């Protein structure tokens, strides 16, 4: 997919428009802007290189609905992703009928926007297509990770996905944190007859039970304090599409009962609602917990488990499929070089050797984060430091050769416990700062507010953690960088 296309951002809010353009620029897109419906129509008619449109629905005068309707009536074919704080499901349906390619409710995570925009630019939404070959995941469906899996273990996973994709039965994905269960869930959706419809993901561990119930099933106006308007739930937005419930093992037992009702009857009540809502949504769930042990402990309903456990797919950890490490590294290098418009071009051989030897307790997520830092900072030494010392062989005494036993190898140098703690704390701090900067488009003042520290303190920590703005890193000359020691 070509990220160098032009994205037209249509929003009457100056701050929102600026933030979107800043993020899109960092991700490698060219941008044009329109601050009103009239400006939008003029830009759509005069700019022939628009590859995609991000459209706010609520604008004075010519609103987003009318812009979308006119654009499609005039033959406009660019994918349109609707961004809006509107909470009424009827507005979402209306936008889709007018020709919207996809929909994201405000506020949204930039990772969600990235995935939706990439999927829209692939031209897949709402179009028919041939089923992909076994073992080859559609790039727009899984962030491009499926096609770089070369291990036999993942081939078995993709083969099973193809067999169950069109059956509409619930699928339970199990595996450690960070192995890519969401990638498999998106592949199931993209390979099914529901692929032209919405894929909705929600993390059941991210919200308390009361908020999670409202997010999943929606609420009526006045259902509780702060419910000033009715709100459709994720199930309604996933109607005729797929809903992915991540970390299902963390769901409150009371909500488990309501989920069981949806699976059995295909209907439920909003919070505070008096009329049933009927929904047709494919359900895919994932967990890194042992649900059978949770049943014994009384933390998970046995009847729900059997309802979900129609098809179980185990996603293997990265240490069980080391063949995937090298292609994943190459994929992430290319991905972040595009996003940051430069950076490290190739992973040094000594780093790749350590990657191959590492056990990856954080799995693919850990690998991606390390490669991202490597691309931006161009400092292999820091990445090697995070991996820790190489693992010593099981037997430090080398076997006898020709009857002569060699001297034992010296043990690796011990690191003081305080130093271990200091390094771990620094790395955790660095990761939190990077995440805040990414989510604010490298706006340091907004990042400081997110982190609840002063702007001056953030600047100090950025310097102390050796964090480099990718926009500046992309312009550094190679001879300015210290060589690998």
* pLDDT tens column, 141-178: 455 555 677 899 999 999 999 999 988 899 999 999 99
CB-CB contact of 263 with 170 (8 Å): yes
Element (H, E) at 392: none
Mean pLDDT of the chain: 79
Task: Tell me how many degrees the CA angle 110-113-118 measures, rounded to the nearest 5.
Answer: 130
pLDDT at 344: 80
Q: Percent helix, strand and coil across the chain, each rounded to 5?
A: 45, 15, 40
What's the count of helices (H) and strands (E) in the chain, helices before strands?
A: 21, 12
Class in CATH terms, 139-314: alpha beta
Distance CA 71, CA 52 (A): 12
Three-class DSSP category at 323: helix
Q: What is the pLDDT of residues 435-445, one digit of tens each?
A: 788 777 788 88
242 beta partners: 199, 282
What's the Cα-to-Cα distance from 322 to each of 252, 360, 367, 445, rounded to whole Å? 36, 10, 12, 41
pLDDT at 287: 95
Tell me the two tokens of residue 354.
């350590």
Domains 6-107 and 139-314 share a fold: yes
349-357 helix and 363-377 helix, angle to the nearest 10 degrees = 160
Count the alpha carbons within 13 Å of 257 in the hemisphere toward its beta carbon. 3
199 beta partners: 242
Is residue 424 pLDDT above 80, yes or no? no
- Would you state the CATH architecture of domain 6-107? 3-Layer(aba) Sandwich (3.40)
More confident residue, 16 or 122: 16
Distance CA 415, CA 424 (A): 13
Count the alpha carbons within 13 Å of 271 in the hemisphere toward its beta carbon. 25
More confident residue, 395 or 438: 438
Closest CA to 83 of 51, 108, 119, 63: 108
Distance CA 282, CA 171 (A): 9
Q: What is the pLDDT of residues 185-199, one digit of tens each?
A: 999 999 999 988 888
- 185 C-beta neighbours (distance < 10 Å), count: 28
Distance CA 52, CA 120 (A): 8
pLDDT at 127: 35
pLDDT at 398: 45
Count the alpha carbons within 13 Å of 452 in the hemisphere toward its beta carbon. 0
pLDDT at 338: 81
Is residue 18 pLDDT above 90, yes or no? no
Instruction: Tell me the domain boundaries of the chain.
Output: 6-107, 139-314, 322-391+418-475
pLDDT band at 182 (very low <50, low <70, confident <90, very high): very high
Closest CA to 282 of 213, 204, 187: 187
- 339 C-beta neighbours (distance < 10 Å), count: 20
pLDDT at 456: 84
Task: Tell me how many degrees the CA angle 386-392-393 measures, rounded to the nearest 5.
Answer: 145
Mean pLDDT along residues 22-26? 81
pLDDT at 4: 62
Q: What is the pLDDT of residues 234-282, one digit of tens each?
A: 898 888 899 999 999 999 988 999 999 999 988 888 888 888 889 899 9
What's the Cα-to-Cα distance from 470 to each of 341, 344, 345, 373, rounded to whole Å? 8, 11, 14, 10
Beta carbons within 8 Å of 377's beta carbon, 6+ residues apart: 466, 468, 473
pTM above 0.75, yes or no: no
Pairing of strands 242-246, 199-203: parallel
pLDDT at 123: 53
pLDDT at 384: 78
Read off φ and ψ for residue 17, nearest 5 degrees: -65, -40
CB-CB contact of 245 with 285 (8 Å): yes
Distance CA 187, CA 85 (A): 28
Distance CA 270, CA 223 (A): 9
Distance CA 308, CA 328 (A): 31
Three-class DSSP category at 313: strand
Beta carbons within 8 Å of 264's beta carbon, 6+ residues apart: 307
CB-CB contact of 251 with 289 (8 Å): no
pLDDT at 400: 46
CATH code of 322-391+418-475, in short, is 1.10.8.60
């Amino acid at each position: 997919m070509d990220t160098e296309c032009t994205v037209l951002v249509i929003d009457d809010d100056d701050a929102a428009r600026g933030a979107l353009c800043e993020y899109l620029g960092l991700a490698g897109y060219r941008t044009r802007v329109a601050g009103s419906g009239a400006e939008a129509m003029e830009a759509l008619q005069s700019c022939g290189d628009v590859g995609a449109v991000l459209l706010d629905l609520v604008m004075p005068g010519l609103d987003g609905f009318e812009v979308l309707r006119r654009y499609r009536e005039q033959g406009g074919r660019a994918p349109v992703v609707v961004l809006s704080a509107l909470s009424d499901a009827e507005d979402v349906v209306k936008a889709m009928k007018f020709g919207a390619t996809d929909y994201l409710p405000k506020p949204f995570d930039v990772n969600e926007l990235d995935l939706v925009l990439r999927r829209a630019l692939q031209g897949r939404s709402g179009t028919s297509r041939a089923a992909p070959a076994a073992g080859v995941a559609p790039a727009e469906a899984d962030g491009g990770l499926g096609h770089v899996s070369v291990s036999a273990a993942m081939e078995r996973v993709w083969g099973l996905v193809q067999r169950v994709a069109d059956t509409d039965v619930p699928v339970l994905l199990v595996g450690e944190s960070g192995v890519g269960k969401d990638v498999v869930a998106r592949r199931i959706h993209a390979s099914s007859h529901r692929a032209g419809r919405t894929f909705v993901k929600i993390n059941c561990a991210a919200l308390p039970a009361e908020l999670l119930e409202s997010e999943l099933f929606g609420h009526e106006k006045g259902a509780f304090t702060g419910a000033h308007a009715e709100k459709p739930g994720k199930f309604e937005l996933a109607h005729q599409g797929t809903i992915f419930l991540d970390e299902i093992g963390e769901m409150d037992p009371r909500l488990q009962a309501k989920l069981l009702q949806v699976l059995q009857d295909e209907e439920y009540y909003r919070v505070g609602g008096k009329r049933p809502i009927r929904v047709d949504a494919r359900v895919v769930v994932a967990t890194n917990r042992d649900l059978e042990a949770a049943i014994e402990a009384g933390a998970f309903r046995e009847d729900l488990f059997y309802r979900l456990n129609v098809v179980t797919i185990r996603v293997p950890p990265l240490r069980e499929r080391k063949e995937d490490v090298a292609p994943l590294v190459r994929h992430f290098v290319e991905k972040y070089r595009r996003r940051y418009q430069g950076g490290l071009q190739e992973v040094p051989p000594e780093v790749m050797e350590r990657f191959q030897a590492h056990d990856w307790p954080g799995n693919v997520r850990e690998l991606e984060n390390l490669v991202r830092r490597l691309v931006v900072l161009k400092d292999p030494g820091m990445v090697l430091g995070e991996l820790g010392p190489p693992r010593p062989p099981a037997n430090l005494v080398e076997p006898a050769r020709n009857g002569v036993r060699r001297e034992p190898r010296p043990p690796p140098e011990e690191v003081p416990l305080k130093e271990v703690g200091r390094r771990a704390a620094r790395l955790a701090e660095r990761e939190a700062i990077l995440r805040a900067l990414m989510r604010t488009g490298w706006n340091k003042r907004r990042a400081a507010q997110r982190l609840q520290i002063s702007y001056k303190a953030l600047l100090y920590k950025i310097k102390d953690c050796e964090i480099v703005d990718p926009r500046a890193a992309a312009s550094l000359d190679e001879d300015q960088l210290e060589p690998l020691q």
